[in-house]
Structure 1
Amino acid sequence: MVAIVRILARRIALLVPLMLGIVLFVFLVMRFSDSDPASAFFQGANPTPEQLHEFREQHGLNDPLPVRYIGFVGDLLHGDMGISALTRQPVVEQVTTALPLTLQLTFLGLGIAVVLSLVFGVTAAIYRDRLPDQLIRVVSLTGVAAPGFWLALLMIQYLAVGQGWFPTGGYVNPGDSLSGWLKTMTLPAFALSLPVAAQLTRIVRTAVVEELDKDYVRTAIGSGLPPVVVVGRNVLRNALINPLTVLGLRVGYLLGGAVVIETIFALPGMGKLMIEAVRNGDPAVVQGVVLTTAVGFVVVNLVIDVLHLLVNPRLRSAA
């Protein structure tokens, strides 16, 4: 336990320069883009050059880049992401309103992807080179090739419009109606998760096959242990180390894919907020959404690292 705490403290310490690098990258991209915060703030009002100059002076937009970056980091540490040029509301309020829905969609999709990949990956490994394995291989390859937005449109066409089983869009808060929340989130979560589930299925299948070929598995089964016990207690624990690594990287895909899926299903999450900010020329909101998504991706990968340490004792010893 002490080793895990020490390693975790070291990883968290490494996050500080990483976070500063992410903030610097987003800061530079936004500053060298064509978007002008002053013009965006006065959009539709025909401001005079004097008004634009006064706005830039008040908000430090004429300061040197190093000074602006230090001020930007200081504002972030105080929870200030700026003011939306469109709504005149603090960006942090808009982000905190939209973020819970995106997290719900991302982790619901992640859960579906993990369950599907474990079920089909282990099944394909146990029945390798037989009919179940061949069928799962075809389905998983199809899922890898199918983009999420295309699956979303198909689901809307056949399951929402055609059969009427699900709504075509919108969002119901789980506090108001849990069944309504499930209906509105099922199709988006499946559309988001199926490509990830297809990729993880192939990885889980390969890892389990490699583990099943090891001597200790044959010895355990030969000594009379039921195969279900051997697979569930030993094989899966050793085989899931590589899929865990890929899962951490796929979370970034889920967060990015949520932008498109939320737009298709009219979900008021971070994706819709981002699209509207880009469409309306609102750089502060775009900056806030990108930073929040990047930080979320880094935090999730830190959690995956901790899971690696818990699953793999050899990794703890090496560290």
Structure 2
Amino acid sequence: MAVVVRMLLARILALIPLVLGVVLFVFIVMQFSPVDTAVAALGDANPTPEQLRQFRQENGLLDPLPLQYVHFVWHLLQGDFGTSVITREPVGQVIATALPLTVQLTLLGLLIAIVAGLVLGVTSALFRDRWPDQLIRIVTLAGVAAPAFWIAVLLVQWLAVGEGLFPTSGYVSPADSFGGWLNSLALPAISLALPVAAQLTRIIRTSMVEELDKDYVRTARGGGLPPVVVVGRNVLRNALINPLTVLGLRVGYLLGGAVVIETMFALPGMGQNMIQAVKDGDTAKVQGFVITIAVGFVLVNLIVDVLYLIVNPRLRSRS
């Protein structure tokens, strides 16, 4: 346990410069934006050059870039993402409202992907080179090649418009109705999950096949252990080490895909708000949304690293 704690502290310390680098990258990229914040904020009022200069001076836009970055980071450390110059509302408040929906969509998609990947991957490995394996491999190949937005269009045409089983857009809070919440997020979550489930299936199958061919499996079977015990207790646990490593990167794919999927299904999450902020030229909101998603991706990979240490005792012993 002490080894895990030490490695966790080392990971956290290593993440600090990474997060600062992400913040710096986002800040620099936004400086090259063709949108003038002052014009976007005062554009409807036909501002004069004096008014534009006064706005830039009041909001620190005329300060040197290093000084603007220091002020930006200092406010971030205090939990202040700034104020939108378009809507005049705190960006942190907008993120606090939109983030829960994006997290719900991502976690639901992740749950579907993990369950489908485990079931299909284990089945494919146990029936290696037989018709279930061949069928699953064909299906997963198609799933890997299909983008999430294309899957979303097909699901809407088939299950929403054609069969009327799910709504085409909108969101229901779980506090109002759990069934309505699940119904409103079902198609978006499935659209996000299918490509990830296909990739996990292929990785789990490969890892399972490698483990099933090892000597300890033959010894366990020769000793009379039931196949369920051999596969469930030993093979599956060892085979999940590699998929677990890839899973952290796939969560980043889910977070990125949620931007497009939320817009397609009119879900008021981080994605739709970020697209609207880009259209409005709202620099403060765009920076806040991008940094939040990036930090979330970093934290997810930290959690995956911890799980990797727990699942893989050999790594702990080497450390």
* Superposition TM-score tier, normalisation by shorter sequence: over 0.9
Q: Secondary structure at the match of 2:188?
A: helix
d(CA) in 2 for partners of 1:43 and 1:16? Answer: 38
Instruction: Give the 5 Å matches for 1:287-298.
Output: 287-298=287-298
Q: Which runs of 4+ in 1 moved over 4 A?
A: none
Whichever residue aligns with residue 60 of structure 1, its letter is G
Structure 1 residues 103-112 or 72-81, which shifts more? Answer: 72-81
Q: Which residue of 1 aligns with 2:79?
A: 79
Q: Which residue of 2 aligns with 1:286?
A: 286
Q: Which residue of 1 aligns with 2:68?
A: 68
Structure 1 residues 52-61 or 113-122, which shifts more? Answer: 52-61
Residue 86 of structure 1 and its aligned partner are, at CA, apart by 2.6
Structure 1 residues 259-268 or 27-36, which shifts more? Answer: 27-36
Q: Which residue of 2 aligns with 1:35?
A: 35
Q: Which residue of 1 aligns with 2:198?
A: 198
Whichever residue aligns with residue 265 of structure 1, its letter is F
Residue 100 of structure 1 and its aligned partner are, at CA, apart by 0.2
Whichever residue aligns with residue 88 of structure 1, its letter is R
Q: TM-score normalized by structure 1?
A: 0.98
d(CA) in 2 for partners of 1:278 and 1:311? Answer: 42
Q: Secondary structure at the match of 1:260?
A: helix
Q: Which residue of 2 aligns with 1:273?
A: 273
Residue 279 of structure 1 and its aligned partner are, at CA, apart by 1.4
Instruction: Give the 5 Å matches for 1:84-99.
Output: 84-99=84-99
Whichever residue aligns with residue 160 of structure 1, its letter is A
Q: Which residue of 1 aligns with 2:223?
A: 223
Q: Which residue of 2 aligns with 1:104?
A: 104
Q: Which residue of 2 aligns with 1:26?
A: 26
Question: 1:305 aligned to 2:305?
Answer: yes
Question: 1:262 aligned to 2:242?
Answer: no
Structure 1 residues not aligned, in runs of 5+? none
d(CA) in 2 for partners of 1:35 and 1:7? Answer: 43
Q: Which residue of 2 aligns with 1:184?
A: 184
Q: Which residue of 1 aligns with 2:116?
A: 116
Q: Which residue of 2 aligns with 1:146?
A: 146
Q: Which residue of 2 aligns with 1:155?
A: 155
Structure 1 residues 75-84 or 192-201, which shifts more? Answer: 75-84
Corresponding residue pairs, total: 319
Q: TM-score normalized by structure 2?
A: 0.98
d(CA) in 1 for partners of 2:57 and 2:263? Answer: 36
Residue 84 of structure 1 and its aligned partner are, at CA, apart by 1.6
Equivalent residues of 1:106, 1:254 under 8 A apart: yes
Structure 1 residues 199-208 or 274-283, which shifts more? Answer: 274-283
Q: Secondary structure at the match of 1:128?
A: coil
Residue 31 of structure 1 and its aligned partner are, at CA, apart by 1.0
Equivalent residues of 1:102, 1:269 under 8 A apart: yes
d(CA) in 2 for partners of 1:196 and 1:149? Answer: 13
Equivalent residues of 1:37, 1:284 under 8 A apart: no
Residue 48 of structure 1 and its aligned partner are, at CA, apart by 1.3
d(CA) in 2 for partners of 1:38 and 1:244? Answer: 46
d(CA) in 2 for partners of 1:51 and 1:180? Answer: 49
Q: Which residue of 1 aligns with 2:51?
A: 51
Q: Which residue of 1 aligns with 2:251?
A: 251
Q: Measured at CA, do residues 292 and 215 of structure 1 come closer, stay the same or move farther in structure 2, by a change above 3 Å?
A: same
d(CA) in 2 for partners of 1:280 and 1:100? Answer: 23
Q: Secondary structure at the match of 1:11?
A: helix
Residue 36 of structure 1 and its aligned partner are, at CA, apart by 2.0
Whichever residue aligns with residue 89 of structure 1, its letter is E
Equivalent residues of 1:172, 1:181 under 8 A apart: yes
Q: Which residue of 2 aligns with 1:169?
A: 169
d(CA) in 1 for partners of 2:242 and 2:262? Answer: 30
Residue 74 of structure 1 and its aligned partner are, at CA, apart by 0.4
d(CA) in 1 for partners of 2:204 and 2:244? Answer: 10
Render the CA deviation track for 1:207-228: whole Å, top value 9, x for unaligned.
0000000000010011011111
Render the CA deviation track for 1:48-67: whole Å, top value 9, x for unaligned.
11111112112221111111
d(CA) in 1 for partners of 2:286 and 2:202? Answer: 35
d(CA) in 2 for partners of 1:81 and 1:55? Answer: 19
Residue 318 of structure 1 and its aligned partner are, at CA, apart by 2.3
Render the CA deviation track for 1:287-308: whole Å, top value 9, x for unaligned.
1110000000000000000000
Q: Secondary structure at the match of 2:44?
A: coil
d(CA) in 1 for partners of 2:159 and 2:86? Answer: 36
